[in-house]
Structure 1
Amino acid sequence: MIATVRNIWLVVLCISALPVLAQTNTTVVSIRERLLLDSGWRFAFGHPYNTDKDFGHATGYFSYLAKAGYADGPADAAFDDRAWRKLSLPHDWAAEQDFSPQGSFSHGFKQVGRHFPDKSIGWYRKAFHVTSAELGRRITVAFDGVFRNATVWINGHFLGVESSGYSSFEYDITDYINYGGNNVLAVRVDATMEEGWFYEGAGIYRHVWLVKTAPLHVAANGVVVNTTLENNAAQVQAGVTIQNDALQGKMCAVKVAVVDAAGKTVATAWKEGVEVAALQHKEIALALRVTDARLWELDNPYLYKLVTTVLAEGKETDVTTTSFGIRTIRFDAATGFFLNDKPVKLKGTNNHQDHAGVGTAIPDALVDYRIQALKDMGANAYRCSHHPPAPELLDACDRLGMLVIDETRLMGTSGQPLQDLKRMIVRDRNHPSIFCWSVGNEEWRIENGETGARMATTLQAYAKSLDSTRYTTAGISGGFASGISDVLEVMGYNYLGNGDIEAHHKRFPQQPGMGTEEGSTFATRGVYVNDTARQYMAAYDRKPRPSFYSIEEGWRFYADRPYLAGLFIWTGFDYRGEPTPFGWPSVNSYFGMMDICGFPKDDYYYLQSWWSNKPVLHLLPHWNWAGKEGQLIDVWAYSNCDEVELLVNRKSQGKKRMTRNGHLEWKVPYVPGVLEAVGYKNGKAVLWEKRITAQAPAVITLAAHKPAVVANGSDVAVVTVGVTDAQGHVVPMADNDITFALSGPGRIIGVGNGNPTSLEKEQFLDEITNLPVQQVERKNTEDKKEFVYKGQFMLPAVLDSTDITFFYKSIGSIQSVTVNGVVLAKDIALNAAGNVFLLNKSVIKPGMNEVLITGKPIAKLHDWDVVNTDAGVVQVLRYAVSWKRKLFNGAAQVIIQAAGPAGNIQLKASGKGLTPAVLTIPSL
């Protein structure tokens, strides 16, 4: 079988012994660079139909579609964006918005979409410099993902439109570059329309890259690595696509080298005399043999690198590095799934891609945090529901040891759906973590008919044409009797209550199967009584609906049937949107084994008991039931011990024997004190778990998920906030308001608490309002050598906690600028970049303010020149209030990101009547 992973381009890393040389016909170094373009962006909201609010975009006589380079508004390189907000990617503007009952049920009632046109179009602009020495290289801008309908320009030139919110895409911008000067990338993002029925965010929520290569180079995603095992050796088949963007044909040689995790080269191969015609590509194949191969396994996910070097005239023109793993995969219709010829029961979860506080703009380190949380639960598989993921998620699964079903967004066999499937497979086919491509999910209109069967057959064949080494599947929920179910290579059952799985297996005994979705229970973390008024669901694992099964029922069904390869629980994490079984004001789902922060619910520990090798003893509920003294409380234990004994205030409530894949229950009269469980193995007590009746909240606690962060501007620490009583006991129902202050080289990027009905802000940001300077009058002297301009702008009634800045755009060749009779500048020259004046509060006032500009007009060089008459905007920047969050059932979360140089980041947390806490996180 074949193991594979995404191309990871290195800036100038050459593991071979060959020197890094320059091209003979230019002064440019030819080796590939892949530069992150995440910092230094400007952002502002546009509008879907009001052109004034959309900065006059697409209103010119010649539009960007009519003539090359005629982009207008923010797409014009000369557009003045100085007053726009500064930010770094990834960015999800939906996460910044408030909630509204007019918002989309599917997307968590955020104020984005058709009902909110002022917050549904986002403009991004990024300026970057390209030196004159770069002339002769190929330059590409690559987007990992933009939600959604992204229109892209460079220096006013239209590049294209990408409607998918999940596919990666790129544009060659070589011919548009201003060499030796600045270049402006502009992106208009339209999040008005949804793609899925779950929270999807809005904006450039994944990374953007600038890729520089020589004209003769490895094509994007142009390396594919396939491996087969022969005893302890691996045969490595490397497919390399060489792209020649030069205007003449080239002869080259290609070298590939396998490098192990220690950096040692363990195999090499050459291909010489490769001829690539001008502006064409050539695919070549090379074979290598790795002796004593180390396998990619779940507990030891060993990774190799394939270093590919392209040489022309004896000089290197490109070096790329591709990570891959050596492993085998196979399904058996009778006995399930095998990794490296060892049986593996799939213990998977479905997941969307948002997290509390940050939405879909998840830093790479937070991706690692989420995958590790799933592994700690015992999960060994991850289904990308229901779209291609960020490349970094697949990298994390490769590194941490997590199998993946990679899923396309929309089922279709022509046009963009087919192209999206191709882009997903070509981008991702080198990841050893991926074992299945999913070509669809719950396509109810076509699932049970000939149309669905034809489409599924075509899609699977197409996927095999791109990658013959993996299996194909789809999630089916509309019954398992006909249509798509009949033709799938691996049957994906979505919920055993939706059809007769055993009957389907009898009809198709040679078709492997797995539960692509199962469970779908409702639970609110820390809640043990259904409360429909507050829209909370008790966290006991009970059957949620007649046609759906509990987590335990689902797992036992699949665990007891060897022909079923395993299942994927719906879901690993709660996610924004789809708040079934409720509506407003619920804004989160209730399905997760963890809440949207990643705090475990009780079902997490049921799965951990039977999915992991860890000793587990978990007791629920909490033991704070004031007012219910003497009433019977349902007490459950999740454990993989042989027996569990329950005690209340040291009085035994009985010892019970655990059945495999089960749990234990008691009914216990409530008395305050200590609820304790003791777990036994082979008759010996080995685990203890307590729930203690806590008193009033007294002390704030802070704990980071790791001891330090890397001072790289992107690493994160996830901080859990809680409270204890005066005796140090956790207060499980605490709902205190906590305020945060941060100092040092870090920033808070999001807060959350897992409450599915919380309408609190997730981010606390400075608020920017840009006010136009409205022209009241402009007069020229009779000789037209002087002019007088009068304008005005309206300021809000309250100016406290604000900065007021006048971003002036020259309307004269020489001019003087006055605001409310106070001279800001005298006789300043025409400035293409404009002038910036921070207005003193003594100069301005609430309400109407007057602007007076006098000077000499700008002379036209040509009759068709358009002379600027816009005096600019006045920016009102209102400082953000302090970050804060209410605890929910005793917990909240703060996500801290490294920013700037090394040093100590200090988080302070305070609350009324509570002893404050301080946490120091070194940034190294």
Structure 2
Amino acid sequence: MQKQRLVQQWEHYCGSLGGPWEVWRGDKLKNHYNVPWQPVSLPHSYNGLDVMDPDGKYYQGQGWYRAKLEVNNPYPGGRTLLHFEGAGQRSEVYVYTWKIGEHLGGYDEFTVDMTEAVEQAAAIERYRGLVPVAVMCDNSRDLETIPSDASDFHLYGGIYRYLNLVYVPKVSLQQVHVEASEVSVAGDGKGSCRVKVRASLYNPEKCSEAVKLAIRLHAPNGDVVAESTLECLPWQGEKELAVYALNGASLWSPGSPGLYACTVSLESVHGETSVRERFGVRSFEFVKRGPFMLNGERLLLRGTHRHEDHAGVGPAMTEEQIREEMQLIKEMGANFIRLGHYQQSRIVLELCDELGILVWEEIPWCRGGLGGEAYRQQCRDMLTAMITQHYNHPSVILWGLGNENDWECDFDYFDQEEIRRFMKELHELSHRLDDGRLTAIRRCEFCKDIVDVYSPSIWAGWYRGIYTDYEESCRTAFENVDSFFHMEWGADNLATRHVEKPFTGFEFIPKGEGGSTDERDGDYLLTGGEPRVSRDGDWSETYFCDMIDWYLKCQETMDWLTGAAQWSFKDFATPVRPDSPIPFLNMKGIVERDLTKKEAYYVFQSYWAAKPMVRLYGHTMQVRWGQEGERKLVKVYSNCGEAELFLNGVSLGVKRRDSQSFPAAGLRWEAVFVPGVNRLRVVATQDGVTVEDELTFEYQTEAWGAPAQLRLTAETCEDGRVYVEARAYDASGVFCPDAAQFVRFGLSGDGRLLDGLGTIRGSRLVQLASGRAGIYVDPVGGLPAAIGETGFVSAGGPASALAGAGGARTAPVSVVSVRCEGLPTALITLG
């Protein structure tokens, strides 16, 4: 098999066409017909920016892609395939105007055979031997498909995962499954197991010549530990090729994620090909009414969640971006992730295997109810695809069958018994396809007895109740099911928003009287309903860090807990939250949508990470406030045994870490700041390793009134961008560090706002965070926008954009504005 990614030389048209001939007729009639095709690289989504447009609904409809491919199959009489790793949400594939395949489902992989169409295309003279390929993607809403548009995420359109051109012989291996079963643990990370190797063939022409197969197992160090050969006639379906007893095997775990490899080679008169699959040896158990066990030992699952969503590109993340994200998750100390709420990129699963991150992966039967037979068949098809395509990954322990299936809205009926019957059908299908893993769902109480592992809704301190009721809520839920796992907890938090005293909900709910902590339909709304922190709170990083701190310190002593996963690792776009401080953004992330770390990242590290670390809270809190001489709390997050804090060069003493001493595990000091600039420095030690951190801030003692004016400043960056920041002041010109109004940036002139990113510095409509809001500006309107951790990475600068015409071009001029209801508009001129 030969495989190449098709990344470059694609063009895209956003909109519907009358048919595939309209893709190509511009080539024939280019002097008379002009379709605005745009050059793009894959992966690509046509919703990369519009999902974060605060003034309109994102586009749902057709988007077309076209390319002229050079096809040179090295196998005589071989098959030429297009392998899609994911495209949303419906796809049709054409060679020239001939439809060669279609697929329903935005998240599973599919393959289209283009062999005969390539031969036909060779006769089209004007393409000079190139093969014209077109792909239509369509993310139009249809109630009889999953996921529901009531789901808290976008139904993206486009070829948003990698697309591959694949060459295989007439007879080839289609899929290889490796099962490591009957695992026994011997100790010291070793064990034994039985390894079964099964395979299916791709043989569309029903060739009957004999095939020879060679199977080899390789240890993590590359040594061959088992091998065999087999000669037989081609077969239908899946065939068992070999069974091996593997003794002294290295066990896979988060701390030692050693991966074996199985190579199956096939030889016939039509050519040779091989498939290499990695697998791991491990055993796991959810003890009935008890903890989670991995390889015979208790493991507290410490997790987070992931959506395929990133600033500027939506789901169309490159492999490099995915690797960066997954590495951050591992470095945070997580050993578990739930991939919500759909099958995700094979790259993600491969990285989970390599990094040692256990996985719950699920199908997108998410909210809305239950549709008819076509709807149900899509659920069956997507569950089958997810299990068969990700079967070999040792990281996967749970197949998710649904999410919040008690949330009705898509149909004029809601039949709990029918949902129960279908959930049972999916549960049984999952076990037929893979009886070595368990099934799971989150938040559907009337189905909790059907699946193997259940997570109720517990949002103590956000959608309901207060965070000090967390442990009691979990214990109550734990006692009501055989296997309890706490999926989803957290709080929305606007990056760089800090407060001196967070709103906690204690104000209206006495401790111990919080009552229910589950999320109910409508609790995510910012109006109506009962008092709750999600509606009445400050959405600050300060509160979020305190909540995390409380949850994590509780989890350390809950010896019956299987695990819990915070929702979610990264801020992500969603159509159901137009009123968020950044509209259309779910802001519960530990990092921003461009992977910029929030303060919460370091709270998790202080409990979960092995490598010594220390972090002073408030690096993006440029101004603290209070009265002169007032004692203020300084929090330090660290996994080290002790730390010493210095204020303006003077030691405030050494503190010992105690995970049960809330907040900050005992690493907290009271300090008296001087008016003006202050400098904090902390030095921590663990096992002879010293780490330190420092920050500076202004301490404001001058009182302020209501915001009366906005002022703009501009700072030019090295890459050519300009950062424009708005700050709120009262009528006397005193800075308002707690101002939180919405502001809207605008621009007239030669430049452009770098917005639509869903980040604190990449959104034209945003709430002030601690009295400030800012946005990056391209002053010339020509800088390339490759999204990275900072939100924008330039491959050139203003000088390159201005080059040409002998340097005679007039310098660009832009006027940036910021508006806020009730305040005068502020302006600043760039250039």
Paired residues, what number?
Answer: 670
- Equivalent position of 1:223 in the other structure: 177
Q: CA distance change for structure 1 residues 422 and 160 in 2, over 3 Å: closer, same or farther? A: same
Return the alpha-carbon distance in structure 2 between the equivalents of residues 184 and 756 of structure 1: 38
- Which of 775, 790, 794 is the matching residue for 1:892? 790
Return the alpha-carbon distance in structure 2 between the equivalents of residues 428 and 303 of structure 1: 15
Q: CA deviation at 1:316?
A: 4.9
- Equivalent position of 2:748 in the other structure: none
SS of residue paired to 1:296? coil
Return the alpha-carbon distance in structure 1 between the equivalents of residues 94 and 74 of structure 2: 23
In structure 1, what residue type is equivalent to 2:447?
I
- Equivalent position of 1:470 in the other structure: 437
8 Å Cα contact 1:72/1:156 also seen in 2: yes
8 Å Cα contact 1:384/1:407 also seen in 2: yes
Q: CA distance change for structure 1 residues 680 and 135 in 2, over 3 Å: closer, same or farther? A: closer
In structure 2, what residue type is equivalent to 1:122?
G
Q: Confirm whether residue 162 of structure 1 aligns to residue 120 of structure 2.
A: no
Q: CA deviation at 1:423?
A: 0.7
Q: CA distance change for structure 1 residues 165 and 885 in 2, over 3 Å: closer, same or farther? A: closer
Q: Confirm whether residue 459 of structure 1 aligns to residue 426 of structure 2.
A: yes
Query: Superposed, which structure 2 residues align to 1:89-488 within 5 Å?
Result: 89-97=42-50, 100-104=53-57, 111-113=58-60, 120-131=61-72, 136-178=77-119, 180=122, 181-193=129-141, 195=149, 196-219=151-174, 221-230=175-184, 231=186, 232-276=191-235, 280-281=236-237, 283-312=239-268, 316-410=271-365, 414-445=376-407, 449-476=416-443, 482-488=445-451
8 Å Cα contact 1:244/1:281 also seen in 2: no
Q: CA deviation at 1:581?
A: 9.1
SS of residue paired to 1:375? helix
- Which of 615, 620, 623 is the matching residue for 2:612? 615
- Residues 139-186 of structure 1 show CA distances to partners (whole Å, capped at 9, x for unaligned) of 221211112222222232223443322122222222322265332221
SS of residue paired to 1:552? helix
Q: CA distance change for structure 1 residues 659 and 333 in 2, over 3 Å: closer, same or farther? A: farther
- Equivalent position of 1:589 in the other structure: 586
8 Å Cα contact 2:52/2:756 also seen in 1: no
Q: CA deviation at 1:435?
A: 1.4
Q: CA deviation at 1:408?
A: 0.8
- Equivalent position of 1:851 in the other structure: none
SS of residue paired to 1:308? strand
- Equivalent position of 1:34 in the other structure: 3
Q: CA deviation at 1:72?
A: 2.9
Q: CA deviation at 1:255?
A: 2.0
Query: Superposed, which structure 2 residues align to 1:736-755 within 5 Å?
Result: 754-755=760-761
- Equivalent position of 2:556 in the other structure: 559
8 Å Cα contact 1:474/1:492 also seen in 2: yes
Q: CA deviation at 1:41?
A: 1.1
Q: Confirm whether residue 513 of structure 1 aligns to residue 476 of structure 2.
A: no
Return the alpha-carbon distance in structure 2 between the equivalents of residues 756 and 474 of structure 1: 35
More displaced 10-residue stretch of structure 1: 206-215 or 619-628: 619-628
Return the alpha-carbon distance in structure 1 between the equivalents of residues 67 and 775 of structure 2: 26
Q: CA deviation at 1:660?
A: 1.3
8 Å Cα contact 2:85/2:109 also seen in 1: yes
Q: CA distance change for structure 1 residues 617 and 336 in 2, over 3 Å: closer, same or farther? A: same
8 Å Cα contact 1:328/1:339 also seen in 2: yes
Q: CA deviation at 1:42?
A: 1.5
Q: Confirm whether residue 84 of structure 1 aligns to residue 43 of structure 2.
A: no
8 Å Cα contact 2:13/2:38 also seen in 1: yes
Return the alpha-carbon distance in structure 1 between the equivalents of residues 544 and 314 of structure 2: 29
Return the alpha-carbon distance in structure 1 between the equivalents of residues 787 and 353 of structure 2: 36
Q: Confirm whether residue 691 of structure 1 aligns to residue 650 of structure 2.
A: no
Q: CA deviation at 1:491?
A: 1.6
- Which of 658, 674, 680 is the matching residue for 1:675? 680
Q: TM-score, normalised by structure 1?
A: 0.64
Aligned-residue RMSD, C-alpha: 4.4
Q: CA deviation at 1:136?
A: 1.9
8 Å Cα contact 1:589/1:756 also seen in 2: no
SS of residue paired to 1:250? coil
More displaced 10-residue stretch of structure 1: 565-574 or 303-312: 303-312
8 Å Cα contact 1:753/1:885 also seen in 2: no
Q: CA distance change for structure 1 residues 252 and 883 in 2, over 3 Å: closer, same or farther? A: closer
Q: CA deviation at 1:449?
A: 4.2
Return the alpha-carbon distance in structure 1 between the equivalents of residues 54 and 357 of structure 2: 38
8 Å Cα contact 1:753/1:892 also seen in 2: no
- Residues 271-319 of structure 1 show CA distances to partners (whole Å, capped at 9, x for unaligned) of 323343xxx4452331124444233222332222211122336x75431
SS of residue paired to 1:34? strand
Q: CA deviation at 1:591?
A: 0.6
In structure 2, what residue type is equivalent to 1:44?
Y
- Equivalent position of 1:711 in the other structure: none
- Residues 26-85 of structure 1 show CA distances to partners (whole Å, capped at 9, x for unaligned) of xxxxxx2222222221212223xxxxxx3xx14xxxxxxxxxxxx532277976689632
Return the alpha-carbon distance in structure 2 between the equivalents of residues 897 and 307 of structure 1: 41
Q: CA deviation at 1:372?
A: 0.6
In structure 2, what residue type is equivalent to 1:87?
V
In structure 2, what residue type is equivalent to 1:882?
L
Q: Which runs of 5+ in 1 are unaligned?
A: 1-31, 48-53, 59-70, 105-110, 114-119, 544-548, 703-718, 724-731, 738-747, 766-800, 802-878, 899-910, 913-924
Return the alpha-carbon distance in structure 2 between the equivalents of residues 414 and 163 of structure 1: 13
Return the alpha-carbon distance in structure 1 between the equivalents of residues 781 and 102 of structure 2: 35
- Equivalent position of 1:46 in the other structure: 15
Q: CA distance change for structure 1 residues 42 and 641 in 2, over 3 Å: closer, same or farther? A: closer
8 Å Cα contact 2:332/2:602 also seen in 1: yes
Q: CA deviation at 1:417?
A: 1.2
Q: CA deviation at 1:489?
A: 0.3
8 Å Cα contact 2:54/2:583 also seen in 1: no
- Which of 450, 458, 462 is the matching residue for 1:495? 458
Q: CA deviation at 1:375?
A: 1.0
Return the alpha-carbon distance in structure 1 between the equivalents of residues 179 and 456 of structure 2: 31
In structure 1, what residue type is equivalent to 2:267?
L
SS of residue paired to 2:210? strand
Return the alpha-carbon distance in structure 1 between the equivalents of residues 541 and 25 of structure 2: 54
Return the alpha-carbon distance in structure 1 between the equivalents of residues 155 and 776 of structure 2: 17
SS of residue paired to 2:394? coil
Larger Rg: 1
Return the alpha-carbon distance in structure 2 between the equivalents of residues 163 and 151 of structure 1: 9
Q: Which structure is higher in helix share? A: 2
Q: CA distance change for structure 1 residues 561 and 701 in 2, over 3 Å: closer, same or farther? A: farther
Q: CA deviation at 1:239?
A: 0.8
Q: CA deviation at 1:893?
A: 3.7
Q: CA distance change for structure 1 residues 506 and 227 in 2, over 3 Å: closer, same or farther? A: closer
Query: Superposed, which structure 2 residues align to 1:720-731 within 5 Å?
Result: none
In structure 1, what residue type is equivalent to 2:98?
H
